[in-house]
Structure 1
């Protein structure tokens, strides 16, 4: 199975000036665990995850003053839609993160998460186990 089969195409894009509270509200409303941070000044893509927000709040920082740009991961590993789920899972395990931005050409077309991969693998493994009996 490929990344394109598992990825979420509901992509939340925010700017670096969004506060963490604004980002959290948007992520919650869209029911996503990560937002792509697009900085028009650098033409770069970054990612802000629920863990980034949690770490900031846990450190006592004010989510109404902290901005996404300060907490964005800019050293991002990107996936291609044609990657296998094994390749995506390997990249996540190697890098210690749970989300990959999926790029097709120059732009983001989705995000694949560990949860997306598990959803795809779990039914396939159950089916294989049943067939073996």
Structure 2
């Protein structure tokens, strides 16, 4: 099975000036654990995860003042839609993270998470 078969195409894309609270609200509303942070000036992409927001709040950062830019991971490992789920899982294990931004020739097309991969690997009869 390939990443494109498991990834969530329902993603959240935010700008670096979004506050952590704004990011958290959007992520919660769409029930996703990560947002793609797109820098309009540089055209680059990063990722902001629920863990990044949790870490900031744990450090007493104000979610209404802290911006996504200050907590975005920019050294992102991207997955191709044609990667196997094994390749994605290996990249996550090597890097110690739970989300991969899926990128094609035109830009981000979704995010694949550890949960997405597990859903594909666990037989449906065991999930129900």
Shared fold, TM over 0.5: yes
Partners of 1:107 and 1:17 in 2: CA distance: 20
Partners of 1:29 and 1:122 in 2: CA distance: 26
Corresponding residue for residue 26 of structure 1:
26
- 1:106 Cα offset (Å): 3.2
1:122 and 2:125 matched = no
Partners of 1:110 and 1:22 in 2: CA distance: 20
Corresponding residue for residue 73 of structure 1:
73
Aligned length: 126
Corresponding residue for residue 54 of structure 2:
54
1:97 and 2:97 matched = yes
- 1:8 Cα offset (Å): 0.3
Would you identify which runs of 4 or more consecutive aligned residues in structure 1 move more than 2 Å?
none
Corresponding residue for residue 83 of structure 1:
83
Gaps of 5+ in 2: none
Corresponding residue for residue 113 of structure 2:
113
- 1:92 Cα offset (Å): 0.1
SS of 2:120's equivalent in the other structure is: helix
- 1:11 Cα offset (Å): 1.4
Corresponding residue for residue 129 of structure 1:
none
- 1:42 Cα offset (Å): 1.3
CA RMSD of aligned residues (A): 1.3
Partners of 2:42 and 2:70 in 1: CA distance: 14
TM-score between both structures, scaled by the size of structure 2: 0.95
Partners of 2:27 and 2:104 in 1: CA distance: 23
